[in-house]
Structure 1
Amino acid sequence: MSCRQGFPAMCNSRGGALFLLLLHSVVVALVSAQGSNKTSLWPTLSGKPPLVIARGGFSGLFADSSSVAYNFAQQVSPNVTLWCDVQLTKDGTGICVPDVKLENSTDISGIFKNRNKAYLVNGAPTDGYFSVDFTLKELSNVVLTQGVYSRTNKFDGNGFQILTVQNVAQTFKPSGLWLNIQLDAFFTQHNLSMRSYVISVSKSVIVNYISSPEVGFLRGITTRFNPRTTKLVFRFLGEDVIEPSMNKTYGSLLKNLTFIKTFASGILIPKSYIWPMDEALYLQPHTSVVANAHKEGLEVFASDFSNDVPFSFNYSYDPLTETLSFIDNDDFSVDGLLTDFPITQSVAIDSFAHLSKNASPPAKPFVISRFGASGDYTGCTDLAYKKAIDDGVDVLDCPVQLAKDGTPFCLSSINLIDSTTVAQSRFSSRTTNIPEIKAGTGIFTFNLTWSEIQTLTPSIASPYSKYTLFRNPRFKNNGEFLTLSKFLTLAKGASSLQGVLINIEHAPYLAENLGLSVTDAVIEALSKAGYDNLTSPKVMIQSTNSSVLMKFKDKRNYDRVYKVEENIRDASDSAVKDIKTFATAVVVGKESVMPENQAFLSTLTDTVSRLQSSKLPVYVEVFSNEFVSQAWDFFSDATVEINTYVKGVKVDGIITDFPLTAARYKKNRYMDTAINDTPAYMTPVLPGGLMQLITPDYMPPAEAPFPLLSESDVVEPPLPSTSAKPPTSSPSGEPTAATPPSPNGQAKIVSGFLLPYLAMLLATLFLI
């Protein structure tokens, strides 16, 4: 067999280098045989773990049905079944391409211009570049590309050619090969016999599954295949779609599974057949289709699993949660899952399914909430806090704001517009412009009394709404805000909590301009709640202001957490030394640990190792479930991202708005397993690994590294004393413009020296 026939992508040195990188450099979460979950009998038809079926390989990242996609799928899931959508060429060769129209998944329109044609496909006029109009030799000049435009095209420069069914079977030798025959009737119209092809190819390669949505096709081949070797699977399309050979809807055929059993061993159904959703994308009770099929002796395979497509709000954008609902519930398990991201289903089966509900997770790393479970409810409401506790959060947070009357309460932002409907309320006229706090106008907490704030309606924040990814819209205005006192009482009554984190910002402005001391308010509330003498839950005070943390230095049993707002690549020795004088831990952003370039991880910085070497625990923020919040390297799976920061970087805490995902991660089957005994799929992602697979013409431009955190970035003057005075305003009622502040709202000592110097210099110039 020639190189081009067997593995076209390996026919040049770059192709070979690419696969060496895939196998050895891109250290991803790989599933190994030793990680197999054999702890209990599965409620599948066979009693074995569900099958993981990789649709076109790892098509969630690479071009569907490309050699790299198939190879990568096998690395992340060694027992994976490889799926091939079979199309026939003009000369009757079976190729693996996701659709009979080739232009959406290849570069054919640029190679063979004006050779598109129009045909009837299932009765619908369709224009495109069809496989039946090209010979295999002609298609050897065509390369596969990423056909889903919301996915990265950065790997398209590698020139992966179209593979035949024999290429896939003989090159990858998969543990399972699944051929999907979608349009037998169409090929018959073009004098090509898919029946003859599948019978012929099964004589040279082992085909484990053949699926089709056409009853006539499966009934025509059922006597030619031994179900012990090759299982026939009837594929259901939409419930209202007409099946061509029976002229009945798929919904009506689902009611006659006894008939399906006469020609098939199983059914492949959209996941919505099992867990239907209402129009608002909330789950309805599961159907009985799995139980009904199992009674007939039919296996049930569920399709449409994709990490980067919005699914039910009940899953909180977590694909692992979705997968577990199909395989680990009290009623049923499907027999297999068809997916674009096989790592998620493999990890779910091996590491998370059938965990003991009484399992105790390790104490570290801390799972720290960000405004409670703010991914599910409006941040800092009673609902967000109670869900975070129920989800297993270790440290519950409260960003303290002050009302006009000095009442301390928990709110995600000092600007009420960010988390309430105040802009649509009777207080909408109270907008002010305070550049020391934020650019533009706002309605700030100190503009309203606590009793007025209590009348406001909460409004959930959806940070990725520009991608039409909204958070829990049905409950977007539910919940009540809590005073700091009520928050502390709630936390004190939650025995599962290890700590509370009190976040204090804008203290210098509040003290100097409004005469409000947020630090005194916090100290008083903690003392009244009895936290001064408590060892559990532990009190953690967080701020970007070193001067704030210094106010708590005499509280020996409090942790003081310094937040570095800017992205950094490292910290100087002098900066670390200074931080240790006022803080016992540090918070940094994710990009200070692993910077991104066009959503690809580029490198691993020295930030965490530098701080930890000085005995400063490092907590990293913000971990969200929405796939657009994660680098491509994490495969649109929040659990893969968390695993990399915990196992690879060894951070001390995860700050997240979806505590359930992080808390469940700590319970995974191999969390405390020695590294040498840990399954390969728990190996962290290698920063920069995927970028090595991008050809120069697709490579993102290099970016300058983040700065080094220096001592001048850290040192601040003490907090100003509180003196009751309103913010200065211009005659129009707007506050006067102020010199832009540092990100934490307080000028650094160096800046404080420089500004008077510049003022004197300007005065001198005017006197000349």
Structure 2
Amino acid sequence: MPAPRAKPVVIAHRGASAERPEHTLEAYARAIALGADYIEPDLVATRDGHLVARHEAELSGTTDIADRKEFAERKSARTINGREVTGWFAHDLTLAELKRLRARERLPLIRPGNARFNGQFQIPTFAEIVTLARSADRRVGVYPELKTPSFLMEAAGIDVVALMAAELRRLDLADADAPVFVQCFETAPLQRLATLVDTPRIMLLGQRSDAPDEMATIATFASGIGANIQLLLEGDLAPTSLVEEAHAAGLLVHGWTLRAENIFLPERLRKGDIPADLGDYATLWNALIATGADGFFIDNLAEWNALAAARD
């Protein structure tokens, strides 16, 4: 298992997503320039079996596909995690078709500065992101998330676990000491991946279960947990027991996601009434550092760096 670090690992959430449209090579390059230890792509699959970086399988929120007449007939409705979603899906396009699209900012009202890049950037493959990370003048890891693997299997017959394992082997990232973590909210895909490669794995947690041996069970197939930061803090921002419990089971703890804008912060930390304005990020930052977590998923890397520099 990778050893915990003296300073929290900085995981660039979808790249430098506060400064560039998320899940683009430009966002990842900016994150590397800002000192991120890992860059984090969410991965879905194309019809011809390529892993690509998108926030979700449906593309209309993050690309210009709705404006492209040649794809009008590909619009469809699918049920994902019990919710009906209508739009265009990555697994209905080949990689060549997907490369004709251009990225758009997913949150233009919150990050209008990113919207100026709309229409400029392509959708990258996982392999392209790995190549970018390896081009850095220091060790930069990748931290891919398998998005809705059960849905992709049911809807399109695409086995993203097998695709992920094959790609990790091809890219020489299948060893336990590889600079990569593979994360997922679904237990079964991670358990299966553990039988295929030795790559470190992270179980994502949005909430705690009632199982008394939850951490010990996760430790049988994962290197750590990726925990919603709300699980790390009490209402008064004091640390919960989660980090201590996870560490006792031999698990790393990476918290998600630190964002500086008011809309993402607890009400008590907001400054003013404008959702896109920056709030009291420093108080949240200090509270999370005090939990002893091993790393954090971060959108606002420049703000994180300023706080880290002040602390040093």
TM-score (normalised: structure 1): 0.37
Question: Are positions 1:461 and 2:106 aligned together?
Answer: yes
Match among 191, 194, 213 for residue 574 of structure 1: 213
Query: Could you tell me how far 1:604 is from its partner in structure 2?
Result: 4.8
Following the alignment from structure 1 to structure 2, what is the Cα–Cα distance between the partners of residues 665 and 494? 24
Q: Pick from 141, 154, 158: which aligns with 1:516?
A: 158
Q: Who is 2:174 aligned against?
A: 532
Name which of 223, 228, 241 aligns with 1:589: 228
Q: How does 1:238-249 map to 2 (within 5 A)?
A: none
Following superposition, the deviation at residue 622 of structure 1 comes to 1.3
Tell me, what secondary structure is at the counterpart of 2:200?
strand
Report the alpha carbon displacement of residue 386 of structure 1 after superposing the two structures with TM. Answer: 0.4
How far residue 418 of structure 1 moved from its aligned partner, in angstroms, is 2.2
Aligned to 1:401: 44
Does the CA-based 8 Å contact 2:101-2:122 persist in structure 1? Answer: no
Return the offset for 1:373.
1.0
C-alpha separation in 2, matches of 1:595 and 1:479: 40
- Aligned partner of 1:431 in structure 2 is 75
Counterpart AA for 2:21 = T
| 2:265 matches 1:630 | yes
Q: 1:595 to 1:430 in 2, by over 3 A?
A: farther
Provide structure 1 residue ranges, at least 5 long, that are not aligned to the other structure.
1-361, 672-768
Residue 380 of structure 1: CA displacement? 1.1
Q: Which has the higher contact order (CA 8 A, sep 6+)?
A: 2
**CA distance 1:418–1:562, change in 2 (3 Å):** same
Alpha-carbon spacing, 1:645–1:582, altered in 2? closer, same or farther (3 Å): same
1:608-646 residue CA offsets vs partner (Å, 9 max, x unmatched)? 332233222211111112133222544623233212201
CA distance in 2, matches of 1:486, 1:500: 11
Deviation string, structure 1 residues 38-68 (Cα, Å, up to 9, x no partner):
xxxxxxxxxxxxxxxxxxxxxxxxxxxxxxx
Partner of 1:192: none
Q: 1:662 is matched with which residue?
A: 304
User: Would you say how many aligned residue pairs link Structure 1 and Structure 2?
Assistant: 298
**CA deviation string 1:252-286 (max 9, x = no partner):** xxxxxxxxxxxxxxxxxxxxxxxxxxxxxxxxxxx
1:653-679 per-residue CA deviation (whole Å, 9 max, x = no partner) reads 1101222332443333x44xxxxxxxx
Between the aligned partners of 1:515 and 1:548, the Cα distance in structure 2 is: 15
> What does 1:112-191 correspond to in 2, within 5 Å?
none
CA contact (8 A) 1:367 1:653 kept: yes
Deviation at 1:363, TM superposition (A): 5.6
Residue in 2 that maps onto 1:265: none
- Give the 3-state SS of the residue equivalent to 1:396 in structure 2: strand
**Which whole-Å deviations, capped at 9, do the CAs of 1:218-253 have from their partners, x for residues lacking one?**
xxxxxxxxxxxxxxxxxxxxxxxxxxxxxxxxxxxx
Distance 2:239 2:210 in 1: 14
Identity percentage of aligned residues: 21
- Alignment match, 1:541: 182
- Structure 1's 576 and 532: CA in aligned 2 closer, same or farther, altered over 3 A? closer
1:460: how far off?
0.8
Following superposition, the deviation at residue 446 of structure 1 comes to: 0.7
1:105-127 deviation digits (Å, cap 9, x = unpaired):
xxxxxxxxxxxxxxxxxxxxxxx
Structure 1 counterpart of 2:199, one-letter code:
Y
- The two structures, once aligned, show a CA RMSD in angstroms of 2.5
CA distance in 1, matches of 2:53, 2:99: 12
In structure 1, what is the Cα distance between the partners aligned to 2:54 and 2:32? 17
Counterpart position of 2:275: none
Equivalent runs, 1:271-310 vs 2, <5 Å = none
Aligned with 1:416: secondary structure? Answer: coil
Q: Which structure would you say has the larger Rg?
A: 1
Distance across 2 between alignment mates of 1:477 and 1:375 = 17
Q: What 5-or-longer segments of structure 2 have no aligned partner?
A: 272-278
* Contact preservation (8 Å) 2:238, 2:287: no
Letter in 1 for 2:119: N
Specify the alignment match of 1:421 in structure 2.
64
Separation of aligned partners in 2, 1:563 and 1:534: 19
Aligned residue number for residue 563 of structure 1: 204
Once superposed, which parts of structure 1, at least 4 consecutive aligned residues long, lie more than 6 Å away?
none
Alpha-carbon spacing, 1:375–1:429, altered in 2? closer, same or farther (3 Å) = farther
